[in-house]
Structure 1
Amino acid sequence: MEIKTGTIISLNIGKSINIADTGEREINSAIYKSPVLEDILSLTKNGLQGDEQADLVNHGGFDKALCVYPFEHYQYWQNKLNKDFPMGSFGENITLAGMLETDTNIGDIWEIGEALVQVSQPRMPCYKVAKRHDVVKLPLYIQETGYSGYYLRILKEGDISVRDRCILKKRSSNISIAYINQITYHDKANMKAKVELTNLEELAESWKRNIQIK
């Protein structure tokens, strides 16, 4: 197996806040994440030390304990939308270079510092990332490009640092995050592929249910 490594550009955390601009009802979200100053953070099965999740149905939990977004996409969005995107702009806990959606497979196990993590599913773009950047079509653009990012589950808790590298320790499938995005958003009639994904043990159950509905 090829030894792949990723470089952590930023570790990001955020608190749950009300992002609604009307008084009708609150919309709580922790989409506003920013780089941490601490050298070392604790990573548990519930996520990164100091981070919060407001919507525990669609974010957080065992299969979505940690969100990753590829650093390489930042330049694309800045050019396309003509605006600045600071690290953490996509609600990710790890801004990571070297592990794109095309390079990253479901079930991949990485070592980060003392921790072991496993790739569980793509990140599904929602209206909250559009709200943060005041770009209504941003979730659609993310679907079109496949620049989604992805989630990790925590297999072994431990301390991690922005100085650590993500080291691929085990690869158990040849199904990439990019492939899953393609089937989910652009090739919905491909039932053979949907069955293949449904039978993929390491893919999060919530994503399996989602592709069965679409």
Structure 2
Amino acid sequence: MDHPGDLMPAQLVAVNVVHELIRGPVRWTAIDKRPVTGPVPVGELGLAGDQQCDKRFHGGPDKALYAYAEEDADWWSTELDRDIPPGLFGENLTTHGLDITHALIGERWRIGGPKNGIVVEVRSPRDPCGNLSARVGIPKFHRRFVATGRVGAYLKVVSTGRVQAGNRIVVVHRPDRGVSIAEASGAA
């Protein structure tokens, strides 16, 4: 089921993988994600060609992918009076037409077709560190980011396959009740 009120199907705007590792304020980071073209294989631990530096906070089965909504990036673009291109916040998947901020923990999405697409499950909100602040060039931005609840979602890969920009996203399961990403982030 799609979220009520959707006029157009949700879709994947960009698939982003690490461009280069950079030295953050405290440690190395793979936050420099940029869009790639064509289909990208997705395994249980994330996108082929991507990596995470600090596995204590990023990666693993429950944080295999990080999704961020284009609508939230557009909100930040207005708020900061600057362009927010796909991948700037370190997300692997940039979406459109999917309310990630109000997605429920345990919600499942199918991205792409039933034969080669993937199924993911919303597991937790992102809790960014100072590397996000350094990436956008605004001191302590990561705290401001969290305060809005517009933090995006970490996803578990339930069914592996391939994804690419333009893939349709369908909410295939939404719990009857639960905690939203914004609530779990402490912002709501």
TM-score for both structures, normalised by structure 1: 0.77
**Cα 1:102/1:17, change in 2 over 3 Å:** closer
**Where does residue 6 of structure 2 map in the other structure?**
none
Q: Which has the higher contact order (CA 8 A, sep 6+)?
A: 2
Count, aligned residues: 178
Query: 1:130-145 alignment to 2 at 5 Å?
Result: 130-145=133-148
Give the residue type in structure 2 aligned to 1:111: R
**Where does residue 22 of structure 2 map in the other structure?**
18
**Where does residue 105 of structure 1 map in the other structure?**
104
List alignment gaps of at least 5 residues for structure 2: 4-8
**Cα 1:63/1:16, change in 2 over 3 Å:** farther
Structure 1 position 185, deviation (Å): 5.1
**Cα 1:133/1:13, change in 2 over 3 Å:** same
**Cα 1:172/1:185, change in 2 over 3 Å:** closer
What is the alpha-carbon distance in structure 1 between the residues aligned to residue 17 and residue 147 of structure 2? 27
State whether residues 10 and 96 of structure 1, in contact with CA within 8 Å, keep that contact through their aligned partners in structure 2: yes
Say yes or no: does 1:91 pair with 2:90. yes
Structure (1/2) with the larger helix percentage: 1
What is the alpha-carbon distance in structure 1 between the residues aligned to residue 24 and residue 143 of structure 2? 21
What is the alpha-carbon distance in structure 2 between the residues aligned to residue 16 and residue 27 of structure 1? 14
TM-score for both structures, normalised by structure 2: 0.87
Percent of aligned positions with the same letter in both sequences?
32
**Where does residue 68 of structure 2 map in the other structure?**
69
Structure 1 position 75, deviation (Å): 2.3
Q: Which has the larger radius of gyration?
A: 1
* Per-residue Cα deviation, 1:153-209 (whole angstroms, up to 9, x for no partner): 01111111212111111123522112222xx357xxxxxxxxxxxxxxxxxxxxxxx
Say yes or no: does 1:157 pair with 2:160. yes
List alignment gaps of at least 5 residues for structure 1: 187-214
Structure 1 position 76, deviation (Å): 2.2
